[in-house]
Amino acid sequence: MPSLALLGGPPACTVNWPTWPVWDDSERRALLDVLDSGKWWYGARVQQFERAFAAFHDAEFGITTTSGTTALETALLALGIGAGDEVIVPPYTFLATASAVLRVNAVPVFADIQPHTLCLDPDDVERKISPKTKAIIPVHLAGHVADMDRFSTIARQHNLYVIEDACHAWGSQWRGKGVGALGDCGVFSFQASKNITSAEGGIILTNNAELARECRSYVNCGRREGKPWYEHFLLGSNLRMTEFQAALLLAQLSRLPAQNERRAANAQRLFDGLRDLPALRLIQNDPRITRRAYHFFPFRLDLAALQVSRARFKDALAAEGVPTMIGYDRPLYKNPLFQRTWDRGPASCPISCPFYGLPVDYTTVHCPVCEAVVQDTLWLFHTILLAEPAAIDALIAAILKLFDHLDELRS
């Protein structure tokens, strides 16, 4: 009789994993309160959530938006980044990290990631800096904080802005301070899959009062606080959050600390249970990360040692009752958007703007660490980390079972 469930054996893990989103009467009451108030639009609850979320991250100002994507675009605009400027980004992230740069008519420059953190590599960032570089966007991938000491030093030396993409890092801390306002500003997403969600939404955090004022104006149709309603100062847009979204987020925020603690404890349990497997490469937290959020738990496979494809390993885990995700399946620069051939001239903006004055050819970009990571990495989604400890033990047992029966898996 085969041992592996993929080949007809019994599954090792029969857990009903938690689903997402999590909600209760707190959200229900909050939404009904907004409905009954008749005040549904960009009012007291939005302001309350902005203050509460900023305080949670040790930031002075919070400016809500319609999404993490528009938060990034707004931050870039408010910092004056535009045509002809370069912004250094990682290739192992969601499209918005780079597309926001294009949206403001600037040029994303891809620097590689670190194999042990999956976050932007400061050494490669330094190699990619040019006279046109204006900003760096480190991504706190899966809640693991990028090396903000190095990025702060690099930014000071080269007079660059640092915009934290913290869209996976609600509650993460670096040296006891919340992410999002460690650089010039930081952005978060509240999209449906995120650890705190209102289906869509985002926020910009900063400690810079003037930057906060500019962001608020861009989000609110170019208006200025205290000025006439139909007087517009900037080419802004309507990127405002609703009172319904803010009500949901206030309820979600109230349980986030406890959820973060459970995810972190379960992630440590996973790490301890799997750390001795030589063909499994786990991501260990930097000791400077004093609090860690987990949007997912990534692990890398040593495919040469396993002599098993990632797809087969993933299928075998699923059969044992452990759902995993491949996640980002290619570096951003391998997406069709970046593989296009762009002619020079005004019609080719924003990829190759005449203000930039240089050819842009992403087909020649090569980030070797990222290109390996997209081939060998699997993710455990954050809902798994909300399970009971016994479920995590069953998950560990399922993975150990695969390693104990690799000969079957290879057949």
84 sits in the region (left: phi over 0; alpha: psi -120 to 50; else beta) called left
Could you tell me which of 386, 402, 309 has the C-alpha nearest to residue 15? 386
Phi, psi of 232 (to 5 degrees): -120, 135
Following DSSP, what letter does each residue of 190-250 receive, concatenated? --TTSSS-SSSBEEEEES-HHHHHHHHHHHBTT--TTS-TT---S---B-PPBHHHHHHHH
Q: Helix H segments across 104-172?
A: 122-128, 148-158
Distance, in Å, from the CA atom of 310 to the CA atom of 300, rounded to the nearest integer, reads 10
Positions marked catalytic: 94, 165, 168, 191, 194, 223, 230, 240
Distance, in Å, from the CA atom of 22 to the CA atom of 28, rounded to the nearest integer, reads 12
Distance, in Å, from the CA atom of 159 to the CA atom of 145, rounded to the nearest integer, reads 22
Distance, in Å, from the CA atom of 162 to the CA atom of 185, rounded to the nearest integer, reads 7
Distance, in Å, from the CA atom of 240 to the CA atom of 261, rounded to the nearest integer, reads 31
